[in-house]
Structure 1
């Protein structure tokens, strides 16, 4: 979705929480980011919020409050209903929400070796390098 709006982008900033599939210790997350950096040519900077502090993410507050107001009173009976309600969310200041269901199947239980991790072109930032890093094209 972002490629259409920002076709000349050279960098991407991802603000993520510290748990789940995109946690700062998740090896497969970093492998997939490296693959994306290689494919897109973009430099990807990731800044993880410390555990339990995702509530500080201003974008989430700005976005989810409007989504919640938009689907208030509507029973969430299917994925299509949720996608349509989220996709219809707009703010007075011009924020429009884009949403799409990813129906692809993803394998589970993938193990990432130390050798694969060594191939990641990762630059840890000076401040909390485990949480803040940049992955560049190999």
Structure 2
């Protein structure tokens, strides 16, 4: 998927990220609770919002 547009006009851009990220990071239950994750109805264990409504554009 490079660029696609939904029927409502939403434009989605994606690109491959071959960076290496750390794995196995442990956080406490308190730290997780502070994130205020809002699970989505469909597979909320994978899909969630963080509560932030502010759009932050990315730059290249």
* TM-score, with structure 2 as normaliser: 0.40
Higher RCO (CA 8 Å, separation ≥ 6 residues) = 1
- Structure with bigger gyration radius: 1
Of Structure 1 and Structure 2, which has the larger fraction of its residues in helix? 1
* TM-score, with structure 1 as normaliser: 0.22
